[in-house]
């Protein structure tokens, strides 16, 4: 079974702190994604990566950065956390699209609260 894990289920940080959210997948997937989930807004893509050291901006990249130094690990970084970044953060991974479009496998999510 594909397994996507996230470093924390719940996280509380203070405004201005630097925050790292870690995601690890064990299925050798090329693609990895970071989403933000808010009530009434669904899932919004922050960043994705289709290879080591490669990254692409999603729909809401402002205030976030990412790092992918190893294939299995994709980190989301909040350089200076703000209260409007309080949200549920979901990581996902998938195979690189080839002849078929592959499903995404999700981690359990990190509920981040910024005070």
Partner 1 sequence: AQTVTQSQPEMSVQEAETVTLSCTYDTSESDYYLFWYKQPPSRQMILVIRQEAYKQQNATENRFSVNFQKAAKSFSLKISDSQLGDAAMYFCAYIEAGNQFYFGTGTSLTVIP
Cα–chain-centroid distance for residue 32?
A: 8
Tokens of 90: 């979901």
For partner 1, which stretch binds (CB under 8 A), given 11-19, 37-45, 69-77, 78-86?
Answer: 37-45
Task: Tell me which residues in 45-84 interact with partner 1 (CB under 8 A).
Answer: 45, 48, 50, 58-59
- In order, the DSSP letters of 78-112 are ESS--GGG-EEEEEEEEPPPSSSPPPPEE---EEE
In Å, how far are 11, 12, 14, 19, 46 from 114, measured between CA atoms?
A: 8, 6, 5, 10, 18
Nearer to partner 1, 35 or 78 (CB): 35
Is there binding between residue 107 and partner 1 (CB under 8 A)?
A: yes
Among the listed residues 65, 108, 113, 115, the single contact to partner 1 using CB under 8 A:
108
Residues that bind partner 1 (CB under 8 A): 31, 33, 35, 40-45, 48, 50, 58-59, 88, 90, 92, 94, 96-97, 100-101, 103-104, 106-109
């Amino acid at each position: 079974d594909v397994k996507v894990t996230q470093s924390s289920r719940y996280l509380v940080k203070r405004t201005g702190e630097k925050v790292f959210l870690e995601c690890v997948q064990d299925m050798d997937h090329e693609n990895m994604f970071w989403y933000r989930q808010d009530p009434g807004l669904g899932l919004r893509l922050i960043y994705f990566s289709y290879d080591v050291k490669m990254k692409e901006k999603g729909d809401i990249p402002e205030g976030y950065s990412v790092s992918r130094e190893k294939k299995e690990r994709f980190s989301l970084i909040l350089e200076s956390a703000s209260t409007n970044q309080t949200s549920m953060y979901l990581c996902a991974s998938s195979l690189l699209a080839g002849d078929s479009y592959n499903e995404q496998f999700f981690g359990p999510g990190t509920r981040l609260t910024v005070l």
